[in-house]
Structure formats: structure tokens, C-alpha cells
Amino acid sequence: MTEKTTPREKVAIVTLGCEKNLVDSDMMAHLIDEKGYELVDNPDDATVVIVNTCGFIDAAKEESVNKILDMAELKESGKLKSLVVAGCLTQRYKEDLLHEIPEVDGIVGTGDFMSIINVIEDTLIGKRTSLIGNPVFNYEQVVKRKVKEGTYTTYTKIAEGCDNNCTFCSIPLMRGKFRSRSIESIVEEATYLATKGIVEISLIAQDSTNYGMDLYGKLMLPELLNRLSEVDGIEWVRLHYAYPGFFTDELIETFAKNPKVCKYIDMPLQHSEDAILKRMRRPGRQTDIRKLVAKIRAEVPDVALRTSLIVGFPGETEEDFLKLCDFVKDIKFDRLGVFTYSNEDDTPATRLPDQIDEDVKEKRANILMEIQREIANEKNGQYVGKVLDVLVERYEGRNNIYVGRTQYDAPEIDGEVFISNYQGELGKIVKVRITHSYDYDLAGEVI
């Protein structure tokens, strides 16, 4: 007589929002895999669905709620047994979610997702579970993550939370105070990722240049970058969200001298005008920013500088905006993201006078992006004829080309390189002579 076996639960994770959520989802996936559940990509095939939500701006909240409602509809078929919601939206709006969406079986906060297995098991026996504590988790206890096969780049959190308290930002409400991970745990995670085929790691934190101050009593980002560059298999180390206030000479020297540290700096400035920066409660002023950019470019001549800017912040006059446009034309950032200001619950900026109409915000964003498109086109044209290192990431059979990125482009948010004559494996860094440039992308041939 054959012994009957209980079918494994099939779990799908739907991830919304920023890279921090992607990391959290990878860690939940690892725990789910270790438990023996089967991970599936398609929620239609799942008996358990986890929606890892974003709650940063109104559009992200709306997307998260709509996705939860979409997943709730799967319950009508009877196949989906459990719907669990995680992430920033749950941290801020637990009661609303439980009350408004009865199909939600479990809720997990940003500091509690390490207990995801307990929550799943509770919901599978019919117990509606809400686990929302203080968001203080700092990732010291886990360094393993589930990364998809065929992935050669991933993000690594070096810190969580933020102490800056910018008037427009709700991150401290959802992620807590700034807290660094130890260098040892980050290096251990990078070493593990390298065994899984990862060749590029992008370091993320809400304020990455402040890394180490809370844990070691001094700024330790240069030390971390150098330690990570020693990990076998990791070829590129990329830095995101480097606030200008803590960008030291030692850090600039690390970019200049360490060949594994990408010549790419993502430095969110948010605005150029001192009056707006002061209302935003941002560190530094335009003079400081200009001096820092000049110093970085002098010491690291081939650096690609990315920034993000907010238009339509309360009190931003037409003159402020035009000066911001002049600032962008003058600095000529290599990469630029533009966001329209969004009122966030419980943030000081919602109470500021002189709120800007939505149509004005959108118009200003479009104008700024058109300015940047011309700058990007000009800068990309300077690469034609040059030989660049390119990480080959995928093959597009329809066009019979391979696609990759240079060290000057971050995954998904920046440009790509189309390679016409590559015959090797994915996940390799090869030398490509650039033959064509476009607004944001490049094309070339392997030499």
C-alpha cells in the first residue's frame, strides 16, 4: 500500500516598490524554500500569495491596494488558501487593510518578515494573523537569499531606516531609525551571492554615505567598499543613494583607485535652490553641492553621476523651477530621475503653504526630463568609438542580439548596450567597442 503524501504548498511572492522590497522578498523566498514549500512565479498557480507592498507615495499605495484586490479575486476559484500582505503599506495602514479587505489573511510589517513562515502556517489553519512590531530588524541574522537562476546582478542592503527626517519623506515612519549592518554580515552575504552566480552587487540604504556611524562611531563606507571588492566572483560594486553631506575625501579616493568599485555615484539631491532645500530639511546648500560635484569629477574623471530631483514641492515658484532647470543644464548629470512632489500622510510638508497644482507639477517634470534627454544624448555620443566593459545579461532572440550594461548604468533604471556579434555566455563582462549611441542606450560589437 502506497503511503499518501501531503501536497506541498505553492507560494508566489508579488513584489512592488523599491529595491529594498526586492531584498526583503528574496530573504522571505529563502525562508519559504528552506521550509519545503514550492516557490512559483505565477500567482494563478499558488495556494499562498504574498504581496510585498510599497507605501511611499500615493501612486505606489494605489498600485499596492489594487494588486492586493487582484490577488483577493483568486480566492474565488478556491485554489488560493492564504493571502498575506507584507511591506511598507502594512507598517503604516494595518488597521485599514484588515478592515477594508477581508480577504487578507495575514499581515507582516517591515521589521517582522523573518517570521513569514509562522504567519503562513497560522493563516493556513484559518487563523487571521497580524504581526506588526517596531521596524527595527537589521539583517544581522540572515545573509542567504533566494536569487533567480540567470540573475547576475542584485541589490544588497547595507543599512535600514533613516534619521534625516526630510519633510516630504515617510521612510522613517515605515522603516524606522537608521541602523547599519556589520561589515562581516554584508561581506558574508556577498560571498554567498557570488556562489549563486552574482557578479555585480548594488549597495542600497536610505543614506548610504552615513554607513557605519551608528555602529562603529565613524563613517565606514570606504572600508566596506574595499572589503567587498575582495570577494571572489564579485566584479562590480555599485553605490546608490549617497547623500552629499557625508561624501568624504576618503570615499572619493576609493572611487578613484578601486577598480571593482563602479565609477557610478547615485546622489539624490532633490533640488538646487537653497530656499527649497531648507523647506525640505535637506543637508547642504547649492554651493556645497557644486563644490562636491566639481571635486568628484576632478578626482574621478570618468565618473557617471546620477541624481533625483523633486519638482512641485510646496512653495516652489516659477523662478525656483527655472533656476533648477539652469542648474541641470550647468551640471549636466549623466543620469537623472525626476519626481513630482506627493503629499504623504503625517509628514511635515503636507502642512506647508503654497501647495502646487498637479498639472503644474507634471508640466515641470516633463520640461526637466526633456532637458535631460538632450544632455544624455550628447553624453552618450561621446562613447562612440570607445571600448567599454559590458556585463552581458540577456539574449533577445527576436532581434538576435545580446543586451548588457556598462559600469556607468545601473540595472533597470539606466541605459543598456546592444551587442550584435556576441557568441559567449551570459553573466560575463566583455569589452565592447561602441558604434552607435541613442538618447539613453548604446550599441556596439565585442572586440
Torsion of CA 271, 277, 279, 282, to 10 degrees: 110
Q: What is each CA distance from 287 to 210, 229, 272, in whole angstroms?
A: 21, 33, 9
Q: How confident is the model at residue 141 (pLDDT cuts 50, 70, 90)?
A: low
The three cell numbers locating residue 321 = 523651477
Q: At what angle do helices 318-331 and 358-381 cross, to 10 degrees?
A: 10
Q: Specify the domain boundaries for CATH 2.40.50.140 within the chain.
A: 386-446
The three cell numbers locating residue 361 = 507639477
The three cell numbers locating residue 145 = 537569499
Mind listing the pLDDT tens digit for each residue in 56-65? Answer: 777 778 888 8
Query: Could you tell me if 243 and 283 are in contact, meaning their C-beta atoms sit under 8 angstroms apart?
Result: yes
Least confident of 118-127, 129-138, 148-157, 269-278: 129-138
Q: How confident is the model at residue 3 (pLDDT cuts 50, 70, 90)?
A: very low
Mind listing the pLDDT tens digit for each residue in 345-361? Answer: 888 999 999 999 999 99
Mind listing the pLDDT tens digit for each residue in 379-399? Answer: 999 999 999 999 999 999 888
Question: What is d(CA 384, CA 438) in angstroms, rounded to the nearest whole number?
Answer: 10
Query: Could you tell me if 297 and 182 are in contact, meaning their C-beta atoms sit under 8 angstroms apart?
Result: no
Task: Give the CATH architecture of domain 8-131.
Answer: 3-Layer(aba) Sandwich (3.40)
Question: Is 325 assigned to a binding site?
Answer: no
Distance of CA 167 to the CA centre of its chain: 21
Query: Could you tell me if 265 and 255 are in contact, meaning their C-beta atoms sit under 8 angstroms apart?
Result: yes
Give, in words, the CATH class of 386-446: mainly beta
Torsion of CA 292, 298, 301, 307, to 10 degrees: 10
For the chain, how many residues are written?
Answer: 447
At 247, which amino acid appears?
A: F
3-state secondary structure of 52: strand
Percent of the chain residues topping a pLDDT of 70: 96
The three cell numbers locating residue 229 = 571588492
Looking at residue 410, its pLDDT comes to 96
Mean pLDDT estimate for the chain: 91
Number of Cβ atoms within 10 Å of the Cβ of 326: 12
Q: Tally the C-alpha atoms within 13 A of residue 65's C-alpha that lie toward its C-beta.
A: 16
Mind listing the pLDDT tens digit for each residue in 215-228? Answer: 999 999 999 999 99
- Give the distance between the most distant pair of CA atoms in the chain: 83
Question: Is 18 assigned to a binding site?
Answer: yes
CB-neighbour burial class of residue 238 (10 A; exposed 0-12, middle 13-18, buried 19+): buried
Question: What is d(CA 145, CA 9) in angstroms, rounded to the nearest whole number?
Answer: 20
Give, in words, the CATH class of 153-382: alpha beta
Question: Is 262 assigned to a binding site?
Answer: no
Q: Specify the domain boundaries for CATH 3.80.30.20 within the chain.
A: 153-382
Q: Specify the domain boundaries for CATH 3.40.50.12160 within the chain.
A: 8-131
Q: What is each CA distance from 119 to 41, 88, 136, in whole angstroms?
A: 20, 17, 19
DSSP-derived letter for residue 270 is B
Location of C-alpha cell 556645497: 288
